[in-house]
Structure 1
Amino acid sequence: MYARVCVDVFTGTDDLFVYAVPEKYRDCIYIGSRVFVEFAYQKTLAYVIELTAEPGYDGPIKEIIEIIDFERGLTAEQIALAREIGAATRTPLAQCLRLMYPAFMQSRLRRNVKVIKEENLSAGLRELFRDGKKIPYTAELMPYYREIRAAVARGELEIETDIFTYGKRKIIKTYRLSAVTEPKSAKQRSVIAYLMEKGEATAEEIRENTGVSELVVNEMTKRGILAMVPAYPPSEATAARPVSVSFDFSESQLREKLRRLSGKPFLFHTDSEDFRLRFCLDAISEVISSGKKAMVVAPTLLSAAALEDYFQARLGSARISSFSSGISEGEFYYNFQNVCEGDVDLVIATPVGLFLPLADIALIIMMDTEHHNYINQQNPKFSALEVLKFRADYHGAKLILATAAPSIVSYYRYNQAEYFLLELLKRGERRFALVDARAEPAEMLLPSALRREIEASWADGKVAMLVLNQLGYSTANVCDNCGTLIKCPRCKIGLVYYKNENNYRCRYCNQQFPAVRCEQCGEASVRHLGYGLDKLEERFRFHYPDRRLYKATALTLQKRGDFEAFFLALEEGGIDAVIGTNILLDMISPEIGLIALINADALLYADDYRGAEMCYRLISKALDFSAAKTVVQGYNLDHRAITAAVNGDYLSFYQAEIIARGYALYPPFAEMNKITVSGEFKDIYYFANYFKKAFKRFDKGDCLGPVYVPKLRGVQLIVKHNDFELLSSLLDEVEKKFSDRKLRVSFERYPRFYEYKEVNLWTSSSWERRNSPFRSSISFIPITGSCLRSASPTSSTKGRRKRSSRRLPRMRANTGFR
């Protein structure tokens, strides 16, 4: 037997290498297994891609040194998906194969075999354990591999790893009253009343009958009010029962459309959160009751936890597994084993679960499709949307893209017949208010109109949520003498002032400075402009010193216990108001009565062509939660993105935005990639300008830059095109030409962010012009717009080099794996 493997080292190609499989490993090696081989005189990790009877190679063949995984490795789907990601993102295959394993399994795990029922073991296995109840699971046990696996299946042996023991059944936690202690809240009293009547109940039963979350149950267990009683689930799998969901006529029409059509993704657009969840529940119930599998992907840990609670309460008979960074490694591994064995009906996951080896998938639902977390920031820099499209095509499954505000690209794809549209806009009464920050220049963060709304929510017994997407105290700090922006000496971007720590911090490299001086005149006096969460907290405590305020940021919510403590305080009425960044919109709960988006129009001035779209989506997401009133506070409230969002008029916003993008050749009319080159200063500009000159082969497109990016110590190019294959081959040619120079070339097919020309927008006068309450409304043009060769259809072409008229094959505007 021979194995064709992909070695996990950079070789410049994705070629496979042939190795012989030793006799002792032939029963325990699979396609996708990780092995050690000798490559370039070193012991190297490799992935088995093919197993063959013949080598197909005439030269000398080495043997595989060792097998890491004695269980079945990657599936054929995962290997095919890794190839697609590698081709789409210009990433080595080995790096893409590494994605298919959970992070904690990418290292080598220590395994032991433990005896459970020694009397049932065969004589050969009993001899292995003559010196103890536990032995290492190593290559010496390979002659007994089949016997060990059979004994594990019978419950006679267990296999232990560093993080988990599999081969035994999972414990279900049930709860009963333990001690009579004064409960802290009304919700705890409702749990006590329920258990006094019921006796014992699981966390799911308590949640379903009292309306409390599992956090309340855990808190009562810690205080000794409840006692956990272990129980075991039935060993046989039970079929999931269908759930009856009621729909009106319009909603039923969408359900029938989903049942009738197939072959393309479904863009599911609705402004009703309740209908969105009921529709997904009905689709999932129908799939799993037929014996198929369903998968729901959410962008954040918070939204995934909320979806798990929702579906768990309504699909009680279904086998549901969750995957996120919020669960322990042991629980993750247990759920992973269930997926591998097919012992699951519904998977709910954040992007960490995109590559699970789930088979027989009939439905995939991607919630909040436009969230930026779906773009991976580390190599390989893939798009979760394209991954799910591939998986849906592979299984012949239906893919639902659920959103409250579709991206311009997604809606354009529907208009180009690439998507089916499931659209139902309830257009019910929208509870919102617009607050002009220019009305009170002395109090731009918490003007009187916003304070009245906050106090009204407290009068209703609700919590006020204030969202400001800026950390620190002041975000623009300028020299008091000459007005020069105070920058990070390394990254050359403006520092943020943190008043509580009394220091300045760079938002890129996180370097801190206790004191700063102007690099132009040397003056130490600094004027603090702009505002962040620290300043909002200061103003809130000034107006409401006795109110209980919680500040939710990435610093205060770092661990699972932090999230649990926050949600518990929110649920039990321990918080009057919460302030934080946009992440708060994933934490919405019934206790929230007001959502205030402070400086909501700041996204309109972002250095990104999607600024208006992001602003529209932010407001729509807040308005989607109908139980709370939404306050939109800003300076430019008459912008079309804001007026369309509060009125729920997506179509008019789309029509205006698609015209603007057509003029500027932005997506969906072109694919937009980012190339970063770092190395010697003279070489990076030589490479960038040479590539830009070679790019003129494209009959349609544009190459912006090169622009020097200080934080990357390199230059950046933004490339607009409609032929990825040609661009990829062109980049290969240019890299080959410069192979003798020490350059690092990074390619991003799906950029999450863009870096633009370094323009000093934060001088004293320019900052006042953009943020002064007395400035007039302006339309924002991204910095890249000024770099376009063709800003309008009638732009002059005088003085430009004539491009080649040779016609080249072009891909469609859709940017995907294929």
Structure 2
Amino acid sequence: MPNILNTAPELYRIRVAVPVHLYDCFDYKVTEDQYRQIEVGARVAVSFGRQHVVGIVTEKLQSDAPIDSSFQLKFITEILDDQTILNEAVLKLCHWSAQYYQFPIGEVMHAAIPTLLRQGKPYNLLARTWKVLDLNADDKFKRSEKQQDAYKVLKLHPHGTAETILNLSGIETATLKAIEKKGIIRCELEPQNFQPEPVQLAQMPLTPNEDQQKAIQSMVKAKNKYQAFLLDGLTGSGKTEVYLQVMHEVLKQGKQVLVLVPEIGLTPQTISRFQSRFHCNIVLMHSGLNDTKRLQAWQHAQTGKATIILGTRSAIFTPMPNLGLIILDEEHDLSFKQQEGFRYHARDVALYRAHLENCPIVLGSATPSIDSFYLADQGKLTHLKLTQRAGGALMPKMHLIDLKIAKKQQGISQNLIDEIKKRLDKKEQVLIFLNRRGYAPVLICESCAWQANCPHCDAHFTLHKKPYEHLHCHHCGTINRLPDACPQCHQQTLKPIGMGTAKVEETLQELFPEHKILRVDRDSTSRVGSWQKIYDQIHTSEPMILLGTQMLAKGHHFPYVTLVAILDIDSGLLSVDFRATERTAQLIIQVAGRAGRGEMKGEVYLQTLRPDHPLLNTLITKDYRAFAKDTLADRQIALLPPCRYAVMIRCESRSQDENQTFLTNMTQKLREHAGNLIDIWGPIPAPMERKAGRYQAHVVLLSTERAKMHFYVREWWQQILHFKPSNMKITIDVDPQELS
């Protein structure tokens, strides 16, 4: 037992969250002057073991607070902030998240601040401001339209413009530097102005239809209090217009709005809509920003200067002094769940934050998650429905193509080829969806049936042809050269099987050589700004074929697309994961929703080997809500989430026997303590048993009583961490979204 004594009155202490993988905060000594100066939520530099790290002050301890005398307390090294940088609400949110997701509090708090602040850099950075030196240089930009446009904008602001504002207007830093070399403008470092600016309406709102008006009125009534809404609207039903009108009511009060989107690919169109509606300070927060710009955006939000904050999942931890509304768009999207390290779900954290901030929150989707439908049934979400497409547009008609009997060219049915040609001849656009990047998913020898498999994973290599021919494992990242002959029988009979987006692109170029084909996947959009360039091309009225993966399916507005084709949907119908059919249904509806959003009618074609599958028939003859109702009923019968709460323990090591033995012993300890309160499934091998040379296994814990399960699991998890072998990696995933 530690020796607990009362401290001497002259001993001043603070409690600090340190970014190490330990689950406690740690006490440090400070002088009397430091104690008076330090604010809870500020950063301090401390020594931890042999490391020098940046921590966050979580508490100023009273002089008579008990102390563990078995430890020798250290003095802090330095106070880094003279004021709090994480306000009370965010500190509470971090503590709750650390406890709920069973993750070290110091690492959670570090995730809530930008990289430069984690490194101990000063809070008050100077802002880069661009000023015009020569107001008569219009004739010096004949060869660069970008530079000419940037110069025209800069001339409107003779006293200078912040680089962040110019970037939001589409002017790249590289363009500014190119003009600077000509001696026409210069960059100066100036103190940032954190004073909020008044919000002005730049564009009149559209007239809402009956469903939109009802949703807007319900949300506006909830301002200044916590209420959670599920905005369940058909694709193209005008959810964004509802967001904008509710945002306006909140902004008029001088409050801030946080809008979360699943991926940075959605930010160009979203910020364009916001900028065209509101004249105010809007900031972006996502992984595509460099460290300096990320910090500047964070500071604008933290000081209240920014009125609209648009970001991906990590933005939910951004401090905001006047938060009045949270919007989570495409709430069903799996990208809101962090799948590594701190495995939080931004949707659930956002709900708790709205509760802490006493403000309304809107979860919007055309295909709400089964979890959200369940919360709506329980009355925890107010369910609002948009049943009409905006502007009178009709929902696209869906057709199934049976691949067992259809004539095909390189995996594309002749019927679909004919339909694509009709649309292109009418000067319309076509979207083709295939959720498989690369050239081909399998390379096989026709002589001996050898397959190119990853030596480190239970998976095939994917064949890529660009930037050079190679084999790539999308699970562990291994890259091998393409063999000249079969390594097993040495025959030159290697053949790619199946199709990825690169192969489909090649086929489409042969079929439609006179038309532009834009491929959108992780390979084609890896360069900074590449997605924005593709997006701009799509929004011309030029007839073209858009080909891509899930990046094309997520909430984009493509007004000239009238035909959508899904080349292969069957893989989602055969998965062992009970959520696979939900993901597949959402994907079909989301992809289909890109068609017919403008004035022209849309159609959708799905290629499948299983045209009689109940999921496909429900979506075609009924709708997604009917599917969701049936799925929720099935989950209730099977006692699967969300009808029971789940925790998954994932284990990986060099030996599957070692995984199984350790997890079996540990689950037996949990059974001894929790009894029948927790249903334990496993241990079982993961669906991909071997990945990156290590074997994977997991255990799933299920219970109808979440609080009691968390109580038992919290103590048990600490035992696991204490007893696990040093060569074993083990992680906990509360409310897991995938079984892999």
TM-score range, shorter chain: 0.7 to 0.9
CA distance in 1, matches of 2:48, 2:115: 25
Farther off after superposition, 241-250 or 339-348: 241-250
> What's 1:751 paired with?
736
CA distance in 1, matches of 2:81, 2:52: 16
Q: Does structure 2 conserve the Cα–Cα contact (< 8 Å) formed by 1:671 and 1:721?
A: yes
Partner of 1:698, secondary structure, is helix
CA distance in 2, matches of 1:510, 1:169: 41
* 1:743/1:594 CA distance change after superposition, 3 Å: same
CA distance in 2, matches of 1:736, 1:621: 41
Q: Does structure 2 conserve the Cα–Cα contact (< 8 Å) formed by 1:297 and 1:304?
A: no
> What's 2:685 paired with?
707
Partner of 1:354, secondary structure, is helix
Across the aligned residues of Structure 1 and Structure 2, the Cα RMSD in angstroms comes to 4.1
Report 1:627-776 matches (<5 A). Answer: 627=598, 629-635=602-608, 636-646=610-620, 649-679=623-653, 681=655, 682-694=657-669, 696=671, 697-699=675-677, 701-707=679-685, 709-711=689-691, 713-722=694-703, 723=706, 724-729=709-714, 731-732=716-717, 734-735=719-720, 738-739=723-724, 742-755=727-740
1:256 paired with 2:217, answer yes
Over the matched positions of the two proteins, sequence identity in percent amounts to: 17
Farther off after superposition, 72-81 or 304-313: 72-81
TM (normalized to structure 2)? 0.81
Report 1:426-437 matches (<5 A). Answer: 426=388, 429-436=394-401, 437=403
Specify which structure has the higher proportion of strand: 2
Displacement of 1:342 in angstroms is: 1.4
CA distance in 2, matches of 1:234, 1:508: 45
Displacement of 1:499 in angstroms is: 4.3
> What's 2:165 paired with?
none
> What's 2:258 paired with?
295
Displacement of 1:17 in angstroms is: 1.1
> What's 1:614 paired with?
583
Letter in 1 for 2:461: L
- Select which of 482, 492, 497 maps to 2:463: 497
CA distance in 1, matches of 2:55, 2:144: 56
Q: Does structure 2 conserve the Cα–Cα contact (< 8 Å) formed by 1:320 and 1:344?
A: yes
Report 1:307-326 matches (<5 A). Answer: 307-316=270-279, 318-326=280-288
Partner of 1:560, secondary structure, is coil
1:438 paired with 2:416, answer no
* 1:554/1:55 CA distance change after superposition, 3 Å: farther
CA distance in 1, matches of 2:306, 2:132: 16
Letter in 1 for 2:24: D
Letter in 2 for 1:659: A
* 1:361/1:110 CA distance change after superposition, 3 Å: closer
Q: Does structure 2 conserve the Cα–Cα contact (< 8 Å) formed by 1:470 and 1:581?
A: yes
Q: Does structure 1 conserve the Cα–Cα contact (< 8 Å) formed by 2:135 and 2:155?
A: yes
Q: Does structure 2 conserve the Cα–Cα contact (< 8 Å) formed by 1:486 and 1:518?
A: no
* 1:299/1:477 CA distance change after superposition, 3 Å: same
Q: Does structure 2 conserve the Cα–Cα contact (< 8 Å) formed by 1:3 and 1:49?
A: no
Farther off after superposition, 685-694 or 534-543: 685-694
1:105-135 superposed Cα distances (whole Å, 9 cap, x missing partner): 3223278xxxxxxxxxxxxxxxxxxxxxxxx
CA distance in 2, matches of 1:550, 1:85: 41
CA distance in 2, matches of 1:433, 1:449: 14
* 1:683/1:447 CA distance change after superposition, 3 Å: closer
* 1:329/1:572 CA distance change after superposition, 3 Å: farther
CA distance in 2, matches of 1:528, 1:470: 14
* 1:92/1:311 CA distance change after superposition, 3 Å: same
Report 1:59-78 matches (<5 A). Answer: 59=69, 61-78=73-90
1:632-662 superposed Cα distances (whole Å, 9 cap, x missing partner): 3221344343344345623321232123323
Displacement of 1:452 in angstroms is: 2.9
> What's 2:8 paired with?
none
Displacement of 1:526 in angstroms is: 4.2
Displacement of 1:617 in angstroms is: 1.1
Farther off after superposition, 172-181 or 306-315: 172-181
Partner of 1:36, secondary structure, is strand
Displacement of 1:343 in angstroms is: 1.6
Displacement of 1:281 in angstroms is: 0.8
CA distance in 1, matches of 2:427, 2:719: 64
1:596-628 superposed Cα distances (whole Å, 9 cap, x missing partner): 222134322234212221122122223434237
Letter in 2 for 1:178: D
Report 1:215-614 matches (<5 A). Answer: 237-241=196-200, 244-260=205-221, 263-316=226-279, 318-426=280-388, 429-436=394-401, 437-443=403-409, 445-481=411-447, 483=449, 485-499=451-465, 501-515=468-482, 525-571=493-539, 576-586=544-554, 587-614=556-583
CA distance in 2, matches of 1:22, 1:483: 76
Farther off after superposition, 49-58 or 173-182: 173-182
Q: Does structure 2 conserve the Cα–Cα contact (< 8 Å) formed by 1:268 and 1:402?
A: yes
CA distance in 1, matches of 2:17, 2:670: 33
Farther off after superposition, 475-484 or 385-394: 475-484
Q: Does structure 2 conserve the Cα–Cα contact (< 8 Å) formed by 1:434 and 1:637?
A: no
Displacement of 1:592 in angstroms is: 3.8
CA distance in 2, matches of 1:229, 1:45: 35
Letter in 1 for 2:500: G
Q: Does structure 2 conserve the Cα–Cα contact (< 8 Å) formed by 1:623 and 1:646?
A: no
Larger radius of gyration: 1
Partner of 1:438, secondary structure, is coil
CA distance in 2, matches of 1:509, 1:409: 31
* 1:12/1:291 CA distance change after superposition, 3 Å: closer
1:60-99 superposed Cα distances (whole Å, 9 cap, x missing partner): 6532222334553322222211211111221111111111
Q: Does structure 2 conserve the Cα–Cα contact (< 8 Å) formed by 1:613 and 1:641?
A: no
CA distance in 2, matches of 1:253, 1:45: 49
* 1:246/1:545 CA distance change after superposition, 3 Å: closer
Farther off after superposition, 46-55 or 337-346: 46-55
1:21 paired with 2:21, answer no
Letter in 2 for 1:654: A
CA distance in 1, matches of 2:573, 2:338: 24
Report 1:78-117 matches (<5 A). Answer: 78-109=90-121
Displacement of 1:631 in angstroms is: 2.5
> What's 2:44 paired with?
35
Partner of 1:710, secondary structure, is strand
Partner of 1:286, secondary structure, is helix
> What's 1:809 paired with?
none
- Select which of 159, 164, 178 maps to 2:138: 178
Displacement of 1:378 in angstroms is: 2.4
Displacement of 1:567 in angstroms is: 3.1
Q: Does structure 2 conserve the Cα–Cα contact (< 8 Å) formed by 1:375 and 1:750?
A: no
* 1:280/1:177 CA distance change after superposition, 3 Å: farther
Displacement of 1:11 in angstroms is: 7.2
* 1:698/1:482 CA distance change after superposition, 3 Å: farther
* 1:176/1:450 CA distance change after superposition, 3 Å: farther
* 1:291/1:540 CA distance change after superposition, 3 Å: same
Q: Does structure 2 conserve the Cα–Cα contact (< 8 Å) formed by 1:284 and 1:294?
A: yes
Give 5+ residue unaligned stretches, structure 2.
1-10, 158-167
CA distance in 1, matches of 2:510, 2:588: 27
* 1:51/1:222 CA distance change after superposition, 3 Å: closer
Partner of 1:273, secondary structure, is coil
